[in-house]
């Protein structure tokens, strides 16, 4: 078990390395003048030289790559052009904001999808509930996340005025974690969170439903029925077994979803990493963009790792080697 | 089936015809009422996209003037402007109709490219196995860890926002899942008796792939291409919504971006609703087709009759 | 409480003792199946899997249900348990201690399943949920019906495992860690959990190798002797029936071909199908006697979408006449035995002919 976790960690490190390498090529090789991308315009020639030296942007591509990796290993992604401070100072407070909508959103979306998916999967084949469930889930899955956001915003905040239109609310004089435990914060959190849930839920629902439909004709379900346990308990057995493919599916899905949160952050002006990435890109603040992209990639790698370990917990047949 | 292995049954050494494989795919989909609705919508959208320049009343970026010579901003629907105007005085209907073109152009071109790359990687990896498979699959693993939209945002910003670049980025992003799905389909096909026979009979790898493997995985490719159209449409719309779309063409995402950033979401419903509804209809139709297809081809999901 | 016991009984063991007393007090069940018909409606029409089947299981006895695969044996068991798929048409009665249990809803069946009728399933391979430990699955059966603590249910599960010869520690293991024979024993232990009055064993040894088969059958016989539950044993192995069951029902193509006390049915079969079935099973050679040839019945079970209009066995019967092909025979009794054959009076003549391989061979070449 320990050996397995260590190996998976090593694999994750490898993936992160690959992603940083891709990033290196994206940011330095694709644009015509790589230095222009990383250095602020309007610098004096001297200051420019100095910065180039500092950042290892001189020498061959290989030298640059080594310098780049060395910087990243030290956690040094440089300074933001716009904020004029180290990128981590900008991004650190934003990480927790992104997690505030991402983690509960994904968990609630998955849970709700699993419950509804079990209900639809357990319904009579070809019946009304099954057909309606599949239809609605498929159509909702087809709604782009910014359309979900726009709809929630126009209906519940602009028109009905139940929820604030943007941002996280004013923390006032509260600092640290206390700022997250106010009614005002939760009030601001509600709509973006709902948007993430609606965005993430339908695919979970459909996948869970397929799993339950496949499992309900298995022999072991017949024996559970024969035992005379309540129907809900029989459905639970089918659902419990269907969670296994659901979790393997979460792997690529998380990448899509964390990515999709970027758009939701924009719609609700939620100050998270994704929104900062879009801002950084449109203001050509490349060090910041690079760091934000790196952060999102690491989040996905970590989510994968978590999914893998949870799978082992849920399926006794998995042997960690 | 077991009897087919005995002597007298001529096992299909000839392979299946491509046409029949594709035809069978279409028939499968047409059997499901939801998917049929999806196909109808898709077909209607394609027709509108082709006709868009001829049926749209104005140039999409032309500023409309009122009779008094002022910019006709945010006009609700009138007989002259059936879907009203934008805050820049553009005719919403004309923009909306042109949006069909971009959505379908990006969707279809990117999906074909994705389908092609996925198939090449999936078939090579699955058919030849060994080191080739290992290397290609490790590459796929890494590609799967790249956050899609952030990558697209950065790449499009660096490459420059044009329709071609958007299609390129979408292709780079979505081949990976397809390659895996197609690879596992190839793995099953490769083990079939007739493939082994064909190899024993001296058929070349290329012949086996073209005649025995590909026609039998057409439905998997078809499913993946359908889903890819949806992903491509969604990605293009998201990029445009974030203001990273091609500024020289009109797309639905861009229309929504303009409405959103100009703060007219609530008032200018005529501007917001058409592109939103069209996006939902297009993507949902594709998903409905894909889902019906999955349902029909997975024996464990079929209703037992 | 009795003070002479060495150990002071804790609350747990008292609860277990009470549970065991309660379960031991359950009487063996009496089952009468009357005119049971089961049809699956399929796009092409109705597939009559079981047609007008009647039999009786007296309390504490063991009934063997034999026939080739696809003749409706398992369908009978599923119908009694209420496990038929949606859209199945069922008619007839299954009187359990005088009360009909056919056609009840899942909710109504909750009070009957496992409490009064328990099942030993056909394929022990997949009949256990892969993600729960065996113990959990046994405990689930107990606690769904008996209001006892988790610890008591586990203690009961340990006793059940001992009964089937398995160490208690293995209760914590998962189905994939068990061999086929162990899974089958676990399934038997589970079936005994609530000491139901009626046990339905649906081909309990089919998936096992011959040595394991005989071990499991011995186990089942031992349990049957020991607990005296009523039992139906479904099998295609006539030797198993001969060793295990007091009564036998021979089914063919969804109908009862012959039934009666096992000895009578196997020693003096009245139906040509039973005669053929007997020939098709190997017997150990007896010293000094000629080795019995193994004769299989040529042909296959008829298509039940379009069942033959006369006797269903007529197409494969070496003695069939015009009448057999046109009129379905009724079940005719002869003493304790009954058979659905028009020529029940010529049975001894048929038995004589049926033991000769050429009788069947001729049939095969004619077909």
Residue B70 lies in a domain: no
Partners of residue B288 in chain A, C-beta under 8 Å: 135, 138-139
A233·C129 Cβ contact <8 A:
no
pLDDT tens digits, one per residue of B35-59: 888 889 999 999 988 988 888 777 7
C141·A222 Cβ contact <8 A:
no
Residue B80 lies in a domain: no
Which of B154, B273, B291 is most worth mutating to test chain A (most A CB atoms within 10 A of its CB)? B154
Q: In what order do the strands lie in the sheet containing C230-235?
A: C117-120, C198-202, C230-235, C62-66, C247-252, C255-261, C337-339, C332-334
Smallest CA–CA distance from B305 into chain C, residue: C42
Which of B45, B145, B262 is most worth mutating to test chain A (most A CB atoms within 10 A of its CB)? B145
Q: Which residues of chain B have pLDDT under 70?
A: 1-18, 21, 69, 299, 302-305
Q: Which residues of C touch B (CB under 8 A)?
A: 42-43, 85
H runs (alpha helix) in C46-179 = 73-81, 106-109, 134-145, 150-163
Which of A125, A215, A226 is most worth mutating to test chain C (most C CB atoms within 10 A of its CB)? A226
pLDDT tens digits, one per residue of A189-225: 888 999 999 998 998 899 899 889 988 888 899 999 9
B271: Cα within 13 Å, side-chain hemisphere: 28
Decide if pLDDT at C310 tops 60. Answer: yes
Give residue B12's pLDDT. Answer: 44
Decide if pLDDT at A55 tops 80. Answer: no
Residue B79 lies in a domain: no
Average pLDDT estimate for A21-40? 64
Smallest CA–CA distance from A317 into chain C, residue: C176
Three-state DSSP class for residue C248: strand
Kind and range of the H or E run holding A222: helix A219-226
Q: Which residues of A touch C (CB under 8 A)?
A: 124-125, 218-220, 222-231, 233, 237, 240-241, 244, 314-317
Decide if pLDDT at C49 tops 60. Answer: yes
- Which residue did the predictor score with more confidence, B68 or A57? B68
Q: Are C81 and C119 within 8 A, CB to CB?
A: yes
**Host domain of residue B268:** 32-61+88-304
Partners of residue A230 in chain C, C-beta under 8 Å: 110, 144
Return mean pLDDT, chain A.
81
Write the DSSP assignment of C36-74 as a string of letters.
Answer: EEEEEEETTEEEEEEEEEEEEE-TT-EEEEE--TTSSHH
- Tokens at residue B62, please? 């032309």
Partners of residue C130 in chain A, C-beta under 8 Å: 220, 241, 315-317
Strand partners, C68: none
Distance in Å, alpha carbon of A173 to nearest chain B alpha carbon? 30
Give residue C100's pLDDT. Answer: 94
pLDDT tens digits, one per residue of A139-152: 999 999 899 988 88
Confidence of residue C260 (pLDDT cuts 50, 70, 90): very high
- Tokens at residue B83, please? 């879907």
List the single residue in C81, C141, C174 with the smallest CB-CB distance to A316: C174
Average pLDDT estimate for A283-303? 83
Smallest CA–CA distance from B156 into chain A, residue: A281
The 3-class secondary structure across C317-356, one letter per residue, is: CCCCCHHHHHCCCCCEEECCEEECCCCHHHHHHHHHHHCC
Give residue C364's pLDDT. Answer: 56
pLDDT tens digits, one per residue of A163-176: 777 666 665 555 66
A154·B142 Cβ contact <8 A:
no
CA B18 centroid distance within chain: 21
- Share above pLDDT 90 across residues of chain B, in percent, rounded to a whole number: 21
d(Cα A227, Cα A221) in Å, to the nearest integer? 10
pLDDT tens digits, one per residue of A224-279: 999 999 988 999 999 988 888 777 776 667 667 777 888 999 888 888 888 888 88
pLDDT tens digits, one per residue of B8-19: 433 444 556 667
Smallest CA–CA distance from C133 into chain A, residue: A316
Q: Which residues contact B110 (CB under 8 A, 6 or more apart)?
A: B167, B170, B171, B174, B228, B229, B232, B236
Give residue A32's pLDDT. Answer: 47
User: Which chains border C (3 or more CB–CB pairs < 8 Å)?
Assistant: A, B
Partners of residue C43 in chain B, C-beta under 8 Å: 305
Decide if pLDDT at C197 tops 70. Answer: yes
Decide if pLDDT at C65 tops 90. Answer: yes
Average pLDDT estimate for C284-288? 61
Write the DSSP assignment of B51-80 as a string of letters.
Answer: HHHHH-SS-TTPPPB-TTSSB--SPPP-SS
A145·B238 Cβ contact <8 A:
yes
Smallest CA–CA distance from C82 into chain A, residue: A226
Q: In what order do the strands lie in the sheet containing C31-42?
A: C45-57, C31-42, C88-96, C99-100
Q: Are C178 and C42 within 8 A, CB to CB?
A: no
Smallest CA–CA distance from C119 into chain A, residue: A226
d(Cα B123, Cα B106) in Å, to the nearest integer? 25
List the single residue in B147, B276, B288 with the smallest CB-CB distance to A150: B276
Partners of residue C129 in chain A, C-beta under 8 Å: 220, 224, 237, 240-241
Give residue C247's pLDDT. Answer: 94
Task: Name all domains of chain A by residue range, CATH numbers in brackets.
Answer: 2-73 (no CATH), 90-314 (1.10.3720.10)
C144·A230 Cβ contact <8 A:
yes
List the single residue in B147, B283, B301 with the smallest CB-CB distance to A214: B301
Give residue A294's pLDDT. Answer: 87
Decide if pLDDT at C113 tops 90. Answer: yes
B305·C85 Cβ contact <8 A:
no
Give residue C293's pLDDT. Answer: 67
Distance in Å, alpha carbon of A180 to nearest chain C alpha carbon? 39
Whole-Å CA distances, B124 to B143, B172, B188, B202, B212: 17, 18, 14, 19, 14
- Which residue did the predictor score with more confidence, A7 or B111? B111
The residue ranges of every structural domain in chain C are 59-83+105-249, 268-281+292-366
Confidence of residue C291 (pLDDT cuts 50, 70, 90): low
Smallest CA–CA distance from C202 into chain A, residue: A223
Whole-Å CA distances, B273 to B58, B104, B266: 20, 19, 10
- What CATH fold (topology level) applies to the domain C59-83+105-249? Rossmann fold (3.40.50)
What is the pTM (predicted TM-score) of this model? 0.81
Write the DSSP assignment of C250-317 as a string of letters.
Answer: EEETTEEEEEEEHHHHHHS--SHHHHHHHHTS--PPPTTSPPPPP-PPPS-PPPTTS--SS-TTGGG-
User: Which chains border A (3 or more CB–CB pairs < 8 Å)?
Assistant: B, C
Average pLDDT estimate for C112-117? 93
Any idea how long chain A is? Answer: 321
Average pLDDT estimate for C138-147? 93
Smallest CA–CA distance from A223 into chain C, residue: C127
B304·C43 Cβ contact <8 A:
no
Most confident of A157-161, A182-186, C347-351: C347-351
Give residue C139's pLDDT. Answer: 95
Tally of domains within chain B: 1
List the single residue in A226, A227, A241 with the smallest CB-CB distance to C130: A241
Give residue A321's pLDDT. Answer: 52
What's the complex ipTM? 0.84
**Quick one: angle between helices A87-122 and A273-282, nearest 10?**
120
Decide if pLDDT at C367 tops 60. Answer: no
pLDDT tens digits, one per residue of C323-342: 999 999 999 998 899 999 99
d(Cα B72, Cα A78) in Å, to the nearest integer? 48
Distance in Å, alpha carbon of B252 to nearest chain A alpha carbon? 11
Distance in Å, alpha carbon of B9 to nearest chain C alpha carbon? 21
Rounded to 5°, the CA angle B285-B287-B289 comes to 70
Tell me which residue of B220, B191, B225, B184 sits closest to B208, measured CA to CA: B191
Give residue A247's pLDDT. Answer: 77
Distance in Å, alpha carbon of A47 to nearest chain B alpha carbon? 25
pLDDT tens digits, one per residue of C4-44: 444 445 555 788 999 999 998 899 999 999 999 998 877 77
Look up the CATH number of the domain holding residue B138.
1.10.3720.10
Residue B83 lies in a domain: no
- Share above pLDDT 70 across residues of chain C, in percent, rounded to a whole number: 91
Partners of residue B302 in chain C, C-beta under 8 Å: none
């Amino acid at each position: 078990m320990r050996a397995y976790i260590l190996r998976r960690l090593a694999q994750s490190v490898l993936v992160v390395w690959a992603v940083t390498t891709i990033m290196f090529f994206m940011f330095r090789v694709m644009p015509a003048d790589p230095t222009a991308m990383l250095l602020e315009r309007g610098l004096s020639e001297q200051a420019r030289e100095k910065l180039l030296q500092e950042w290892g942007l001189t020498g061959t591509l290989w030298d640059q790559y080594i310098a780049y990796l060395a910087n990243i290993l030290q956690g040094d992604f440089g300074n933001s052009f716009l904020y004029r401070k180290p990128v981590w100072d900008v991004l650190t407070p934003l990480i927790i904001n992104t997690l505030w909508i991402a983690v509960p959103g994904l968990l609630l979306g998955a849970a709700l999808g699993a419950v509804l998916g079990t209900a639809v999967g357990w319904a009579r084949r070809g019946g009304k509930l099954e057909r309606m469930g599949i239809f609605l889930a498929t159509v909702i899955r087809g709604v782009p996340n910014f359309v979900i956001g726009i709809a929630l915003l126009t209906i519940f905040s602009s028109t009905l005025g139940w929820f604030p239109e943007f941002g996280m609310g004013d923390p006032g004089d509260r600092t640290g974690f206390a700022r997250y435990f106010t009614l005002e914060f939760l009030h601001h959190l509600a709509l973006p969170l709902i948007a993430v849930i609606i965005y993430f839920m339908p695919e979970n629902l459909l996948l869970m439903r397929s799993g339950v439909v496949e499992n309900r004709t298995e022999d072991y379900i017949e024996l559970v029925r024969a035992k005379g346990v309540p129907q809900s308990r029989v459905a639970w057995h089918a659902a419990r077994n269907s969670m296994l493919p659901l979790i393997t599916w979460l792997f690529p899905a998380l990448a899509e979803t964390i990515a999709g949160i970027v758009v939701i952050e924009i719609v609700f002006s939620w100050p998270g990493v994704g929104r900062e990435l879009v801002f950084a890109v449109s203001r050509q603040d490349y060090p910041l963009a690079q760091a934000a992209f790196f952060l999102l990639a690491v989040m996905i790698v970590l989510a994968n790792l978590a999914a893998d370990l949870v799978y082992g917990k849920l399926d006794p047949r998995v042997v960690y080697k | 089936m077991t009897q087919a292995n005995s002597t007298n049954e001529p096992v299909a050494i000839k392979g299946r015809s491509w046409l029949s494989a594709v035809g069978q795919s279409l028939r499968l989909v047409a059997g499901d009422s939801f998917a049929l609705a999806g196909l109808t919508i898709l077909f209607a959208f394609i027709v509108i996209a082709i006709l868009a320049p001829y049926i749209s009343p104005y140039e999409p970026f032309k500023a409309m003037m009122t009779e008094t010579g002022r910019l006709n901003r945010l006009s609700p629907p009138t007989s002259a402007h059936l879907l009203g105007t934008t805050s820049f005085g553009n005719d919403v209907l004309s923009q909306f109709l042109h949006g069909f073109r971009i959505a379908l152009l990006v969707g279809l071109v990117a999906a074909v490219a994705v389908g092609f790359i996925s198939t090449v990687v999936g078939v090579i990896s699955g058919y030849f196995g060994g080191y080739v498979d290992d290397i290609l699959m490790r590459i796929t693993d890494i590609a799967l860890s790249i956050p899609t939209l952030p990558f697209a945002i950065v790449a499009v910003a660096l490459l420059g926002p044009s329709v071609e670049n958007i299609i390129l980025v979408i292709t780079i992003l979505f081949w990976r899942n397809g390659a895996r799905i197609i690879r596992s389909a190839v793995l099953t096909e490769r083990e079939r008796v007739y493939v082994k026979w064909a190899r024993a009979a001296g058929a070349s790898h290329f012949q086996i792939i073209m005649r025995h493997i590909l026609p039998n995985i057409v439905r998997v490719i078809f499913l993946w291409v359908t889903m890819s159209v949806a992903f491509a449409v969604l990605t293009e719309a998201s990029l445009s919504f974030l203001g990273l779309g091609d500024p020289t063409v009109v797309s639905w995402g861009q229309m929504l971006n303009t409405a959103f950033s100009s703060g007219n979401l609530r008032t200018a419903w005529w501007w917001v609703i058409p592109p939103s509804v069209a996006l939902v209809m297009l993507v949902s139709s594709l998903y409905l087709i894909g889902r019906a297809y999955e349902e029909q081809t997975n024996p464990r999901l079929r209703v037992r009759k | 409480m009795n003070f002479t016991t060495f150990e002071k009984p804790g609350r747990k063991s008292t609860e277990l003792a009470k549970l065991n007393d309660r379960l031991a007090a359950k009487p063996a069940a009496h089952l009468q199946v009357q005119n049971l018909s089961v049809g699956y409606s399929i796009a092409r029409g109705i597939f009559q899997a079981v047609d007008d089947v009647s039999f009786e299981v007296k309390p504490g006895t063991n009934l063997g249900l034999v026939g080739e695969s696809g003749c409706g044996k398992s369908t009978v068991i599923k119908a009694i348990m209420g496990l038929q798929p949606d859209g199945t048409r069922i008619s007839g009665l299954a009187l359990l201690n005088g009360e009909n249990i056919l056609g009840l809803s899942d909710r109504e069946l909750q009070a009957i399943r496992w409490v009064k009728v328990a099942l030993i399933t056909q394929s022990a391979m997949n009949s256990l949920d892969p993600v729960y430990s065996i113990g959990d699955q046994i405990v689930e059966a107990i606690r769904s019906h008996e209001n006892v603590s988790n610890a008591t249910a586990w203690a009961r599960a340990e006793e059940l495992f001992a009964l089937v010869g398995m160490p208690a520690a293995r209760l914590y293991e998962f189905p994939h860690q068990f061999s086929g024979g162990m899974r089958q024993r676990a399934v038997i232990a589970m079936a005994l959990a609530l000491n139901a009055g009626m046990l339905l064993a649906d081909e309990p040894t089919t998936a096992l190798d011959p040595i394991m088969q005989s071990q499991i059958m011995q186990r089942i016989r031992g349990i049957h002797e020991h607990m005296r539950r009523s039992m139906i044993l479904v099998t295609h192995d006539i030797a198993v029936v001969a060793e295990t069951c007091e009564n036998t029902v021979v089914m063919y193509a969804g109908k009862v071909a012959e039934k009666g006390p096992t000895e009578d049915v196997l020693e003096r079969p009245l139906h040509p199908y039973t005669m053929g079935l007997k020939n098709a099973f190997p017997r150990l050679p007896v010293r000094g006697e000629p080795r019995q040839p193994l004769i299989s019945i040529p042909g296959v079970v008829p298509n039940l979408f379009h069942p033959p209009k006369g006797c269903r066995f007529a197409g494969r019967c070496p003695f069939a006449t015009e009448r057999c092909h046109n009129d379905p025979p009724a079940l005719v009794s002869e003493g304790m035995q009954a058979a659905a054959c028009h020529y029940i009076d010529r049975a001894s003549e048929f038995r004589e002919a049926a033991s000769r391989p050429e009788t069947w061979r001729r049939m095969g070449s004619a077909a």
